[in-house]
Amino acid sequence: MKTMTCKQLGGPCDLALTGDSADIIIQAQDQHLKDAVAAGDTAHQPARDAMKGRWKNPIKGLGWYNGTKKTFAALPED
């Protein structure tokens, strides 16, 4: 298990997201952003918009994804 924060993934807060893979953490971040914005947290809106927009530009989105996977791989196990 490894941990990344919302902030490490481009969000505004220090919520810890834990998982066995970068994909699990990315999915948790996506859900966290959806929930925060739905609850009226405007600080998370830019990160939510960025998350949704990444997949509209595949090259840019893939760059973010690969960078996140490298960051995850370099983290120590919890």
Residue 36: is its pLDDT beyond 90?
yes
Average pLDDT over residues 50-78: 91
Taking the C-alpha atoms of residue 58 and residue 22, their distance in angstroms, rounded to an integer, is: 18
Residue 77 DSSP code: P
Sequence letter at residue 7: K
Looking at residue 54, its amino acid is: R
In this prediction, what percent of the chain has a pLDDT beyond 70?
A: 100
Q: Which amino acid is at 50?
A: A
Residue 60 pLDDT greater than 90, yes or no? no
pLDDT digit string, tens, across residues 11-33: 999 999 999 999 999 999 999 99
